[in-house]
Amino acid sequence: MKKYKLAIIGSGSLGGIIARFVAKQMSDEYQILGVQSGNIKNAVKLATEIDCKAYESLSEVIDDKPDYVIEAASPDVFKEIGLEILDNGISLIPLSVGALADKRFYNTIKASALANNCRVHIPAGAVGGFDVLRASMLMEHAQVSITTQKSPQSLNGAPFLEGRALSEDTPEEIFSGSAKEAIEHFPENVNVAVTTALATTGVENTKVSINSIPGFESNRHEIKLLGETISVNVIVETTPSPNNPKSSSLAAYSVISVLQNLVSPITF
């Protein structure tokens, strides 16, 4: 079996989980060529741990000709690097799916993947159920919504709040709108909303509710799909990543699941 070559952009909590898992448990299927990060010290530390390169630039990544690049950094980084990666015929697995709420960027990425015979593999992130959600949308028209509940600490600092600190005592719905609006206002909190929207009714038609729950120790996402003959509820509740309370470690493992599917003779 061919061993595929990987590069990872992002050496934070999620990128580290992916890198360590692949290095320890998937070394027969994948070779990690290197890691790139905005923080070169973090990249060097992780690269030393898993015995690979620490890239200083995207051009070094591309020159190494990986089969796949995993983006585990931020929506802004995805927008900065995504097109160049695909233009060089390298497939991409992005965690910062929220960037695809930008219709122009989405169309540009799609066109490049088609033109250069590569793919963008979207992981489920911190939610799931996309098999039944997508099948339901093929079956009939439906309405889709996602309700997110997080602690104030997970949501504080979002651009939408404009510096306002959320109450530590009173639960509140702090946002209601489309997935497109949600990711603009909460770029580090609701990649799951955009992933759900892309799999179903689109970023402008998927309704999002974001709620701050004082004392809440989990990230909870509830996806509801309602059609004429089918109703789907998907609830995922996870503990926030210890090093990144705005996200969940499950998101990293969803990338690992994609990697497993890419090499498995039987896929889901």
SS (H, E, C) 19-87: HHHHHHHCCCCEEEEEEECCCHHHHHHHHHHHCCEEECCHHHHHHCCCCEEEECCCHHHHHHHHHHHHH
Q: Which of 121, 141, 185, 221 is catalytic?
A: 221
Whether residue 185 lies in the annotated active site: no
Q: Are 172 and 166 in contact (CB under 8 A)?
A: yes
Please give the Cα distance from 121 to 143 (Å, whole number).
Answer: 25
Residue 178 near residue 203, CB atoms below 8 Å: yes
Tokens linked to 21: 């898992």
Strand partners, 68: 6, 91
What are 205's two structure tokens?
């038609």
Active-site amino acid positions: 221
